[in-house]
A and B are shown apart, each in its own frame.
Chain A
Amino acid sequence: MKHHMNEARLALYLHGDLADAERWAVARHVEACPECQNTLDDLSRSHELLVGSFEEPTPNELAALRGAVVARMRTHRRGQDWRIWTFAAPAVVAMVILLANLRLQTQSPPPRVAPPAVPPVAMKLSQPPPAIARKIEIARVRRKRLAPGARAVTLLTRTEQPAWLKIKTSDPDVVVLWQLNENEKAETP
């Protein structure tokens, strides 16, 4: 026979990787062509050697794999737990501090001791009226009129207590509280 089959085609024919029509054509050719039959035999021999050279994993290898995977999984999980706590711990501490503060703020003030009974007239004459907290906003000006970063200035006064200037800045987390001396106290309207 003058023409022989392409080896690549024979290699595909060997394990049924050709379409039906092509497979029949190759089968007919190989039957009549001893050289192509030899090539096919060589391909088959090579395949047999390939398959015979590999073994299944041994039970020991499988057990070692399983043990190592499980051990690494447990280590990984412990690592994950620690990583979670690295982030969670500060959050928990912050939460506890916040709750403690809230609780302190919401606690009712200690009961006041009732002042001795004094006739109203006497009280009016000898004592000033009871202190009333006053909050007077004296300025809420545009940013450009204040120092860079300052947004608003508020004067907080309480009778018989030094006055405070509260300066809000452009950073919502930063508020400047400035205690005024007596001679600095601004005039209140």
Chain B
Amino acid sequence: MEMAAVSLMCHFAVEPESLRLLIQAAKAGDLASFEQIVVLYERSVLRLAQRLLPNREMAQDAAQEVFLRLHGKLGKFQEEKDLGPWLYRITVNICHDLRRRVKPGLPLELAPILPDQGLNPEESTLLAQQRELIAAALDGLTERERDVIVLRDLEGLSTAEVARILGSTATTVRSQISTGRVKMKNFVMDQLGRNI
């Protein structure tokens, strides 16, 4: 069932007309239709929140808030527009608010390595170290550099899409991407060099 999505950020392939009808019904107060919209976008929203926030509990809270805000503002949403960029923007904004409000400067914790991932102890240790390294590297970026790295390099959006979501220009985003990538590279190589 996982397919290339018609709508940006939508995890499943949905015909635009079906999506429009769902939004229309949800706007009219149909909770079941809204639940279907949640199902379509939950994975992308939660994944983005997990990548932008220090831990998974905060990401859960942020994702819930995204859908509640979506429900509250659905009445103003124009059905012919793509919900994806709008959801990306809301998610990024809510993650910023949450990060600033809850604990500024909280270090990033990436997902723990679960026993069912099929890794031997050595591989688990290596992966854990690698995650710590990347978490520290991401912590060294500014908020905006981190946003663009997550949206461009992890979510795979184009520079133009990232600019649209962040309300910026493609030139500014390109500059932030290059700075972020170089900072991360320098940090990672520095740490790897020390560990060798």
Contact = CB atoms under 8 A, between A and B. Distances in A.
B51 A54 contact: yes
Contacts of A50: 134, 137-138, 149, 153-154, 184
A174 B83 CA distance: 55
Interface of B: 31, 34-35, 38-39, 42-43, 46-47, 50-51, 56, 60, 63-64, 67-68, 71, 110-111, 127, 130-131, 133-135, 137-138, 149, 152-154, 159, 174-175, 177-179, 181-182, 184-185, 188-189
Given A62-B42, A68-B60, A73 B188 contact: no
A76 B185 CA distance: 46
B101 to A, nearest CB: 19
A69 interface: yes
A140 interface: no
B178 A46 contact: no
10 smallest CB-CB distances across A and B, nearest first, come from A11-B181, A8-B178, A53-B134, A46-B185, A11-B178, A46-B188, A57-B46, A69-B67, A53-B131, A43-B185
Given A49-B134, A72-B64, A54 B50 contact: yes
A177 B38 CA distance: 63
9 contacts: A8-B175, A12-B178, A15-B152, A42-B188, A50-B184, A51-B153, A64-B60, A65-B64, A66-B42
B52 to A, nearest CB: 11
Interface of A: 7-9, 11-12, 14-15, 17, 39, 42-43, 45-47, 49-57, 61-62, 64-66, 68-70, 72-74, 76-77
Contacts of B60: 61, 64-65, 68
A55 B178 contact: no
A17 B47 contact: no
A66 B177 contact: no
Contacts of A69: 38, 42, 64, 67-68
B184 A66 contact: no
A47 B181 CA distance: 8
A66 B38 contact: yes
A70 B68 CA distance: 9
Given A61-B46, A66-B39, A69-B64, A54 B177 contact: no
